[in-house]
């Protein structure tokens, strides 16, 4: 006995919809060679994917693909298969493409590099410098990578005390491009609001295929469009990527990026120490020079007063000798003496006022250059046996040091170096 089962009967449109629902439940990844590539209206991309035995059509929106494509390239497409009702043609709607093979990668790299260079994305004139002493930095990297570990080790060893924001991304594979572009979008909105001052895009070395995300047009444009200055350290020293060319600063490796992004505390300390020594020498010279000026001015004032008073004394003596002269003559001479005395008083007052202004200016200048003023800002003078110590290398364990602060001094002993 044959069992009679109900078999559904579809219209053509219903069947196509039924097939597309079934196919659309799973994404596929297919590898093959591009053939018949064409771009319509700068929006829609059509090409065939083939191997030695079969061929299948592919369709994509141009904004979904991040690699420069042309016939003959070996690729892996990711997307959803479907049947188009009007033509009955089976194809793949592609939303991501990965290049395969050295040849395809180099051809795509060359096409994209030429395009971006012509648009001015590599122009050195637009590149910015990194902040000298950053407080908040951002990092775009894979948290599990050795590149990120090495970067953090170098940064903390050189400077430390930084606030570091990591945006974890995939650095290879079809998700990498979207992850990296999303990281730049976040840093250029929320990151700016949080005060991020510079960004580092880092990844360890690898093959050209491993680094293809950093050669994509989307990532290169994201680097170019960053509102925050960015340093790119991707791969080994011999590696280069389009992200390197569009970044404000290019580093040979992730660890090199760390050394360029933050200063070395020991070098900065040496510069500060040298500056303090130079300031101390300048203060000593200024004290000596202004002291000499004050001494010279005092001698000049004394000589001026002496030369002015001596003639008056002689004149008074002649007045005494001529005491027998007529009363009218004495009155006249007394009047002349009084006038001379007034002129002398005015002359002395003018010279004394000028001398006081000079002394006040010198006093203010000495006050500004007083070493105690520098010490009051938190600096300390370190001496051993009366000799100034400017470098850590001059010390050894057990040395007794004299510390001079703004409000006094103290003795200490070197325990550890």
CATH of the domain at 151: 3.40.50.960
Sign of the CA dihedral with 104 first, then 106, 108, and 110 last: negative
Residue 117 domain flag: no
Q: Say what the pLDDT of residue 301 is.
A: 79
β-pair type (136-141, 163-168): parallel
| 235 Ramachandran zone, left/alpha/beta (phi>0; psi -120 to 50) | left
Asked if residue 246 and residue 144 are part of one domain, the reply reads: yes
Any idea which residue has 């260079």 for tokens? 117
Report if residue 105 sits inside a domain.
no
Indicate the residue among 212, 236, 263 that finishes a domain: 263
Position 41 in a domain = yes
Judge if 251 and 144 occupy the same domain: yes
Number of domains in the chain: 4
| Residue where one domain finishes, among candidates 202, 228, 263 | 263
- Of 80, 100, 120, which residue constitutes the final position of a domain? 100
Give Cβ neighbours of residue 409 (< 8 Å, ≥ 6 apart).
Answer: 402, 403
Position of tokens 């007063």?
Answer: 305
DSSP string, 334-384: HHHHHHHHHHHHHHHHHHHHHHHHHHHHHHHHHHHT-HHHHHTTT--EEEE
Q: State residue 271's pLDDT score.
A: 64
Here the tokens at position 266 are 């020991």
For residue 354, the model assigns a pLDDT of 77
In a domain, 381, yes or no: yes
Q: Is 167 found in the same domain as 78? A: no
pLDDT at site 168: 95
Instruction: Looking at the structure, tell me whether residues 138 and 259 fall in a common domain.
Output: yes
Same domain, yes or no: 203 and 241: yes
Q: Name residues whose C-beta falls within 8 Å of residue 167's C-beta, 6 or more positions apart in sequence.
A: 138, 139, 140, 183, 186, 187
Residue 19 lies in a domain: yes
Strands 163-168 and 74-83 come out as unpaired
Two tokens, residue 347:
């002359």
Strand boundaries in 65-149, DSSP class E:
74-83, 90-100, 136-141
Q: Say how many CA atoms lie within 13 Å of 386 toward its Cβ.
A: 0
User: What span, in angstroms and rounded, lies between the C-alpha atoms of 203 and 206?
Assistant: 9
Together in a domain, 271 and 259: no
Q: What is the CATH number of the domain that holds 23?
A: 2.40.50.140
Is 161 in the same domain as 227? Answer: yes
| Interstrand relation of 44-50 and 28-40 (parallel, antiparallel or unpaired) | antiparallel
pTM: 0.54
In terms of domains, do 175 and 234 share one?
yes
Q: Is residue 279 part of a domain?
A: yes
Indicate if 293 and 395 belong to the same structural domain: no
80 and 154 within one domain: no
Both 197 and 173 in a single domain?
yes
Range of the domain at 203: 132-263
The Cβ of residue 410 has, within 10 Å, a number of other Cβ atoms equal to 10
Are 323 and 381 members of one domain? no
* SS3 label, residue 180: helix
pLDDT for res 1: 46
Residue 348 included in any domain: yes
Cα 232 from Cα 142, distance rounded (Å) = 14
List the alpha helices (DSSP H) in 12-97: 12-23
Task: Confirm whether 161 is domain-assigned.
Answer: yes
Tens digit of each residue's pLDDT, the chain (417 residues): 445 567 788 888 888 888 888 887 788 899 999 899 998 888 899 999 998 888 999 999 988 887 788 888 888 889 999 888 888 888 899 988 888 877 778 888 888 899 999 999 999 999 999 998 999 999 999 999 999 999 999 999 898 788 999 999 999 887 899 999 999 999 999 999 999 999 999 998 888 878 888 998 899 999 999 999 999 999 887 778 899 999 999 999 999 999 999 988 877 667 666 667 677 677 777 777 777 778 787 777 777 767 776 676 666 666 566 555 656 766 777 777 777 777 777 777 777 777 787 777 777 776 666 777 777 777 888 888 888 888 888 888 888 888 888 788 888 888 887
């Amino acid at each position: 006995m044959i069992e009679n089962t109900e078999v559904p009967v579809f219209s053509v449109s219903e069947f196509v919809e039924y097939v597309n629902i079934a196919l659309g439940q799973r994404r596929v990844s297919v590898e093959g060679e591009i053939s018949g590539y064409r771009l319509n209206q700068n929006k829609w991309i059509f090409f065939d994917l083939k191997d030695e035995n079969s061929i299948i059509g592919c369709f994509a929106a141009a904004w979904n693909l991040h690699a420069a494509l042309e016939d003959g390239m070996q690729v892996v497409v990711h997307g959803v298969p479907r049947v188009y009702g009007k033509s009955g043609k089976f194809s793949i709607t592609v939303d991501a493409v990965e290049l395969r093979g050295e040849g395809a990668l180099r051809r795509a790299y060359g096409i994209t590099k030429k395009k971006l260079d012509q648009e001015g994305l590599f122009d050195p004139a637009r590149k910015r410098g990194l902040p000298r002493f950053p407080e908040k930095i951002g990092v775009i990297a894979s948290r599990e990578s050795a590149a990120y570990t090495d970067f953090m080790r170098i940064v903390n060893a050189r400077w430390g005390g930084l606030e570091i924001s990591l945006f974890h991304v995939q650095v290879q594979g079809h998700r990498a491009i979207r992850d990296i572009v999303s990281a730049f979008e976040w840093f250029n909105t929320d990151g700016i609001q949080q005060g991020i001052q510079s960004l580092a895009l880092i990844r360890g070395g690898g093959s050209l295929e491993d680094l293809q995300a950093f050669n994509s047009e989307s990532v290169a444009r994201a680097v170019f469009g960053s509102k925050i200055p960015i340093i790119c350290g991707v791969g080994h020293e011999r590696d280069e990527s389009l992200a390197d060319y569009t970044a404000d600063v290019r580093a040979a490796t992730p660890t090199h990026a760390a050394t360029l992004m933050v200063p070395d505390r020991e070098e900065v300390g040496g510069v500060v120490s040298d500056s303090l020594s130079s300031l101390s020498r300048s203060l000593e010279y200024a004290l000596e020079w202004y002291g000499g000026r004050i001494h010279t001015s005092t001698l000049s004032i004394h000589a001026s007063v002496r030369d002015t008073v001596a003639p008056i004394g002689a004149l008074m003596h002649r007045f005494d000798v001529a005491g027998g002269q007529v009363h009218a003559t004495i009155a006249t001479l007394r009047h002349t003496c009084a006038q001379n005395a007034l002129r002398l008083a005015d002359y002395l007052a003018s010279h004394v006022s000028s001398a006081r202004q000079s002394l006040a200016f010198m006093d203010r200048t000495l006050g500004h250059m007083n070493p105690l003023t520098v010490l009051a800002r938190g600096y300390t003078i370190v001496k051993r046996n009366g000799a100034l110590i400017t470098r850590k290398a001059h010390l050894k364990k057990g040395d007794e040091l004299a510390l001079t602060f703004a409000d006094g001094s103290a003795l200490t002993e070197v325990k550890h170096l």
